[in-house]
Each structure stands twice: as C-alpha cells, then as structure tokens.
Structure 1
Amino acid sequence: MKIALLGTGFGQAHAAVYAARGDVQVVMFGRDPEKTAQAAGRFGFGSSTDMDAAFDDPSFDLVDICLPVPLHADYVLRALDAGKHALVELPLADDIEAAQRVADAAARSDKQVFVDMFERFIPANRVLFDAVGEGTYGRLEQLTLWNITAHLWPGASLGLKTLPLEAMHSDMDVITRTLGLPEDVTVTAVARDGDSAAIEAALGFGRAAARSTVSSLMPMSWGARGGYTATFEHGLLDAASTMGFDGRPSGTVTAYTADGPRELDLPPADQYTAVIDHVMAVLRGEAENEIGPDSVLDALRLTLDIDRRVNGPR
C-alpha cells in the first residue's frame, strides 16, 4: 500500500509506525523542503513539498493527514474526491458542520475514512469499555479522567487555545462512549501563559457524574501521566499510565470489589501501532471500521462546547 503522509510534526509519530511495517511505501509531504527531507530521511521515506501530488497521483492508496486542525475536514474531503482512503489526526474538524459533511461524504463513498481516536485502543480504556458494555460491575456511577503533562513536544503550544481540541477531546470520547452526552457541563480554566494552562470539566448525567482534567503546567521532570477512576455500583476500576511522544505508555488497571483489589493483566500498550494495524486490517477486508467519522460526532460536539466556554466562538 502506498501512503501519502502529510505533515512533518506529529506525522513523525505515524512515520515511526509505518517504518516498522514491511507492507507499506510512504512519501512524507511538508512545506519546507529541507525539514521535510530531513524528517523523511529518518525513516527511509521519500519526501515532497508538492501537496497536490498526494491527491493527484493515482499510485497513492491512503492519505494520512497530520496537519493543523483547521485543514483536517477539507483534506479528508479532498482525499475522498480523489478516490483515496483517508486517516486523519484528531479532531476530525474544528466545527461540527464540517465534521458532519465528512461523515456524510464517507457514508456515500466506497472509500474508508479513519479518525485517529487512539485512546480507543489503549488497553486500560478497553477494560473500561468492556466493563460498561458487559455490566461487569453494574451501572457506571462516576468517572474521573486526567491527562497531566509537561511540555514534551518542542514547539507545540498546550495553552487554552489548543487544550480542548487537541488534549481534552480524547477524554470526551471516553465519556460519551460510556455515559453518552451530558445534561449539564461546568468548565473551569486557568492559564499560566499562552502555551501553558489547565482545564477542568464537570459533567452531569442525571444518575451519573464525570470529570475531566487536562493540564500542561507540569515541570519536565514530571513527564506525562494520565488515567481514570471509574466507580460502578459493585466495584471500581483505577487506571494509571505514563505517556510519551513515542505513543508507548506503561499502564496498570486495578479492580476493587468486595473481594479486594486485583491488578488486571493488560496487553502491551502501543495505541498508535494499534490504530494503524486496525486501518490496514479494515482496508484488507478483515475488520469493520471502529473509528469512522460518524462515531466521533458526539465527542466532538461535547469538545467544541467546552472549547466555546473556554475560548469563545471560533
């Protein structure tokens, strides 16, 4: 499969996964010739600054879009118009109307669209989804999630303008997949400067409550840490992880019940590899698409609501 990888920033996280595969050919696209060639060279890929070729060259099967968020929806639609599959970094769009246009276009197309909802493939989150779906511990009553990080990605802003869509969106996906859309939302935010901030969202669901905290106020020695506490009628799941740019967090999940605590066995955690493995399996006809654009709309709607409360209308 030949892949056009658009973007030399976070695109390198995808590039590292492709480089470990033997069934893909990748060309990395960027604006700056020297920077693009240098990034592509790290992985043994070709490079180009001719972004149009990603869509016009019939040899490309999949366009992988790791560009600024305002470009996401338009580039997915362009890929579909060119008769190509598309994988796009989250969030799918920065407004719900554009996201709905992509979902509608994907439904009409014979090509696949994948949104990189990597948190769905984190083993600890799969434990939570299964517990809710199977009723393992009864009804979910309270869910608290946190993602607290230092500035591990040079040049990337983690201020109030970016945190909702680029950091909090994953939590909102976990929340909507387990509890649905909330009846009420309260948001509190604090900013150290334009690039460092924290946001807390409290969400009410009638018979359940959820809270999400994201922060970039940590010192470098902290690294990045996250997790959740999920309280059910008959037990509790407590997950904790450390995360880095390589997408390979270490993590644990402990179940607490009347029988006492029990640490659960988790498979190795590499969610970015898992996403691309899933993409390839779907394109080979071996799996159903779990990260299609229609599946992200509720989480995006909630994320955009929080973004508006923090930053005002876009």
Structure 2
Amino acid sequence: MTMADARRVADAAAASDRQVFVDMFDRFSPAHRILFEAAHSGTYGRLLELELELRTPLLWPGYDLGLDSIALDVMHGDLDVMHGDLDVLTRVLEHRFGDGQDLDSAVIEYTSSGTRTLKAEGPQNYAAMIDHVLTCLRGETENEISPSSVLDTLALTLDIHHAIQQRTA
C-alpha cells in the first residue's frame, strides 16, 4: 500500500453516497476511550508522556511476525492512538492490556500522590466498532473510521515501515 493508494480510496469514499469504514478497532477500546475522554474534557491538563506497551501472544497459526510486517500489521493501531489529539493530559497514563486470553484492560493513572487503576469497562474493541458502524448506517452518528480519518496515521506508519526496511536491507 502507498499513500497514493490510500488517498484514492479516501477520495472515492468521499465522492460516493455510501459509507466506507476502515478497521480501526483500537479507537473503540475501553482503555483508549478513557484516554480520549480525558484528553477531550481536559481532566488532567496537558499530556506530558504517553507509554503504550504492546504484548501479543501471536495467536494466529502460521503468521510470521517480523521486521517486514511489524509496523503495518501490529504498530498501526497504537500509532493511530498516539497520533490523535491527546495533548491535553498532565498525568501519565499507562495502558495495560491482556495477554490474548484475558481481554481485560485498565488505565493506570500516575500522580504525585501515587497510582490509581481506572477500570476500562464497556464493550470490547470489535463489538464497539461494529456498534459504531451500525449507528452510522442508521444515520445516528458521524463516521469516526472513514478512510480519510486514517491518512495521517498511515503516512506515519508507512514512514516507520520504510525506515525499518531500509535498515534491514
């Protein structure tokens, strides 16, 4: 995929009378929703640091995760979260996600008075994304996962992918 390909898809979607959705399920994770809501409401002030730690048990038989695929296949969703407008938190929020078997997640809030775990509750990523698509199709909300909404993040992901490819060539 190239940025030119992605722009053609976004342009075709914009010119169409149909709704087009991109699989950006991380935007709907309960833990990320806590982060987005805090950012948009100004709960903590300005973001000083964000740490996302990805651990995957590689539950896909036959899939070979390597440097040739990690940016596009694994990092893109986290880059999308970081690339959003999360510049309004002052406390450090650390995401902890399950090991693939236990899908619970939490946000850990670090402050000068200690830590506090915020339970990330709500529908899991895919269920929430499907609910979003259905509400869009019923005309009840605006599409948050249109092809144009991912172009900036895709450019960043492709830049990282190309940099990794150059270093490993």
Q: Normalising by structure 1, report the TM-score.
A: 0.49
CA distance in structure 1 between the aligned counterparts of 2:48 and 2:123, rounded to whole angstroms = 27
Q: Which amino acid aligns with 1:165?
A: L
From 266, 286, 289, give the equivalent of 2:143: 289
1:121 equivalent in alignment to 2:25: no
3-state secondary structure, aligned to 1:115: coil
State the identity %. Answer: 49
Equivalent residue number for residue 50 of structure 2: 143
* Aligned mates of 1:127, 1:267 — CA distance in 2: 9
1:278 Cα shift? 1.1
CA RMSD, aligned part only? 2.1
1:252 matched to 2:159? The reply is: no
Structure 2: distance between partners of 1:175 and 1:147 = 13
Structure with the higher helix share, 1 or 2: 2
**Structure 2 residue 2 is the aligned partner of structure 1 residue 100:** no
Which residue matches 1:300?
A: 154
- The amino acid across from 1:133 in the alignment is H
Pick from 34, 39, 63: which aligns with 1:132? 39
Following superposition, the deviation at residue 144 of structure 1 comes to 1.8
Say how many residue pairs are matched. Answer: 166
Instruction: Trace 1:22-171 onto structure 2 (pairs within 5 A).
Output: 94-171=1-78
Q: Which residue of 2 aligns with 1:277?
A: 131
Q: Distance in 2 between matches of 1:269 and 1:239?
A: 17
Structure number with higher strand proportion:
1
1:182 match: none
Q: CA deviation at 1:111?
A: 0.2
Aligned to 1:73: none
Residue number among 94, 118, 143 corresponding to 1:238 in the alignment: 94
Please give the secondary structure, in 2, of the residue aligned with 1:147. coil
Query: What displacement does 1:131 show?
Result: 1.8
For 1:309 and 1:131, the matched residues in 2 are separated by 33
The one-character-per-residue Cα deviations of 1:243-288 (angstroms, maximum 9, x if unpaired) are: 438xx72111122334543322322341111111111111111221
Alignment partner, residue 78 of structure 1:
none
Q: Which amino acid aligns with 1:101?
A: R
- Structure 1: which 4+ aligned runs deviate by more than 4 Å? none
Whole-angstrom distance in 2 between the partners of 1:157 and 1:269: 29
Aligned-partner SS, 1:276? helix
Rg larger in structure? 1
Contact kept in structure 1, 2:83 and 2:153, CA below 8 Å: yes
Q: 1:274 to 1:135 in 2, by over 3 A?
A: same
